[in-house]
Amino acid sequence: MTPVGRPADDAKSGVETDGSAARARRVRVLIADEQRLFGEAVEIAIQTDERLRAIGFALDGGELLRDAATLQPDVILLQAELPWLDGFAAMHHLRLLCPETRVVILSDSGRQGDHARALAAGAVGCVSKRDGVNELVEAVVAAAEPPLPHLLLNRLGRIFRA
C-alpha cells in the first residue's frame, strides 16, 4: 500500500516499478475518507483487485486537493461528508485540478438524494457505504471506463423510458 500523502512509484505512468515485468495498466485510485479504518479497509479491497491500484489516502479536504493535484488519479473515491471541504463542494476544485479524473461519491446515508446530488456535482457515480465491497470495486472499475457518447446515452434513455 502507498503511504498516506506520498505518491506511488511512477504514479503517472500506471506501471508498477517493484522490479517485476511491466504489468497491464491498473486504474489508479485516490481514497478520501475521514475514517482511517474504513479508508484502509477500502484500500485493501482495491489492492486485491488486479484491475485497481490505490495510490493515496486523504483524511480531509485539504489533503484531498493536495494529493489529487500531485497524483492525478484516474478515479477518486470521495466521502460525501469530508471534513474541511465536503465531497460535493470539493467537486468544483477537483475539476480544475485534475479534469481527467472521475469521481465516485461515498455516501454514509444511502439516500436516493445523495446519488442525484453527486451526479449534479459532476461525479460519475455514488456508492453507499452500506453496499458491499464488490459493489464498491465495480463502481470504481466502471468509473474508469470511457464514457458512452452523448447521442448513445440519449437513445438509451429513450429506450428505458419507453
- The C-alpha cell 481527467 sits at 100
Question: Is 48 within a domain?
Answer: yes
Query: What is the domain count for the chain?
Result: 1
Question: Is 50 within a domain?
Answer: yes
**Domain residues for 65?**
27-146
Question: Considering the entire predicted model, what is its pTM?
Answer: 0.77
Question: Is 6 within a domain?
Answer: no
Q: Contact 127/102 with Cβ under 8 angstroms? A: no
Question: Is 151 within a domain?
Answer: no
Tens-digit pLDDT string for the chain (162 aa): 344 444 444 444 444 444 443 456 899 999 999 999 999 999 999 999 999 999 999 999 999 999 999 999 999 999 988 888 878 788 889 999 999 999 999 988 766 677 788 888 889 988 988 888 999 999 999 999 887 554 544 444 444 444
The pairs formed by 10-13 with CB atoms below 8 angstroms and a separation of 24 or more are: 11/55, 11/71, 11/72, 12/72
Question: Is 13 within a domain?
Answer: no
Give the span between the Cα atoms of 9 and 67, in whole angstroms.
Answer: 14
Question: Is 121 within a domain?
Answer: yes
Residue type, 127: V
User: Which CATH number does the domain housing residue 42 bear?
Assistant: 3.40.50.2300
Question: Is 160 within a domain?
Answer: no
Question: Is 22 within a domain?
Answer: no
